[in-house]
Structure 1
Amino acid sequence: MVNMTLKGKTALVTGATSGIGEAIARLFASEGAQVIIGGRKDEIGTSIVKDIRDQGFDASYVHLEVTEQNDWKKAVQFAQDTYGQLNILVNNAGTNEICAYPNIDLKEWEKVMATNVTGPMMGIDLCAPLMKQSGGGSIVNISSLGGMYGTPSTAYSTSKWAIRGLSANAAFSFSDWGIRSNVIAPGFIGGTNMTKAILEKTGGQDVMGKMTLLGRSGKTNELAQAALFLASDASSYITGLDIPVDGGLYTAGYYGTMKANMKMFTGEEKTK
């Protein structure tokens, strides 16, 4: 049953041409939001918009490379010109390229930081004034369990820890503007690039999912439901929070599972 939880609200979702971002964009649209899909894959983005519109919902696409400040400015201007407001920002775009000790490649490190940290920072900084003008709103930042315990991928883990600090600071900085800021920390979610890579390495076995308390990897729509809660007025008294959506993996002991599976993430197999 559609509840139209976000009716009358405008949402910008980054990295929304696949995986978690696409699931969030589709769910938000079905719940009444005017969704701006931000991404780099223009053909896919416009196709998703058409599909959403064919279902009777409202969506638009903007080309948005989150590391480019001008793209952010254009996206904010698009929201202003098209909808006259912006109520929700979902910082979902990210990269999980392997970049680990020892002998870290500085270019790879900077690429991860630019996408996973600087991009969301620019988004928050540039979207917040329009959100204030729109009467406040909600920022949802997609981090990772790797930002709560750590992973063997040094750059990825560091960047996801940084997102938590960035989000908490936004909660502090923009509370007077009526803007809330929270973090979702996904565990292993099916359909994402990381999960696909793990399945390839394990012959299709959901090894990581079986380590959760619920015994399986999550679904993109399950994570999207958490984003919907944080974006909606149902969470109006929640800000500065980190929410793991992980099937209980955090409770089960994420560090232990990661240590046991380091070879999947470090690229050690490539050196043999």
Structure 2
Amino acid sequence: METLTVGSYTLTWLRGGVTHLDGGAMFGVVPKPLWSKKYPVNDKNQIELRTDPILIQGNGKTMLIEAGIGNNRFTEKQKRIYGITEESYVEKDLQKLGLTTADIDAVLMTHMHFDHASGLVKWQNGQEVPAYENAVIYVSETEWEEMKNPNIRSKSTYWEQNWKAVQQHVQTYSEKLEPAPGVVLTKTGGHSKGMSIVTIEQSDEMVIHMADNMGTHAHQNVLWVMAYDDYPLDSIALKQKYMNLGYTRQAWFTFYHDYKYRAIQYDREGNIQTSVTKQYS
């Protein structure tokens, strides 16, 4: 498991599952000859997208960013459609760290699309129950309302099975929330109306987790946004703001989906200075 230490926090990437989605959709209007130079693509025009939660430990808190895709949450047809080749190993990875699901205090959800939220629920004795029995699930109130009442477009990604069993564990916020010292959820919109990013600040160190507003390292260009984005112009403006901030602060940008990079620290010109890469067995 790959780790990154920032101040008093340790970040550890857990294996939450692997999907393969259409590369064209992931890069929107960017032509394939351009994006395929930066991110590998298979013969079905799909790109590998991991769904790996980030464990945050420090200041007396044990939290997750995102929840992975879980286990036995998809039909065989859905597995084919979404190119799922691996389901969650989060519980096994927690065990390796001497933890269980009961030790998770909070799950910080940037948004509630199925590839982020399916792992919030698990099967137990034939019933759907919270996967993290003691955790508070933090999500913006805008995102939570759309999760429960999706529109004609968003109903394909906001699924009832991913919220009904955990609704008593959910706490919403309007614009900003600090669940632990220096760890902040900020509602930004962009990828979805209620989308949030996560920042961690410790002295002069900073982490920026933009989630699907910068889904992979290949989305570094502020104009490269997904066709899945509900508000692409907002995504672009958000990236301009936080990429500039990150370059100036030489912050770590962390990833949930990237096949290769866990985190990247850029210099002031936007060149990769330091990185944490996925270690394959």
Please give the range of the TM-score, normalised by the shorter of the 2 chains: 0.3 to 0.5
Q: 1 or 2, which has the higher helix percentage?
A: 1
Q: TM-score, normalised by structure 2?
A: 0.35
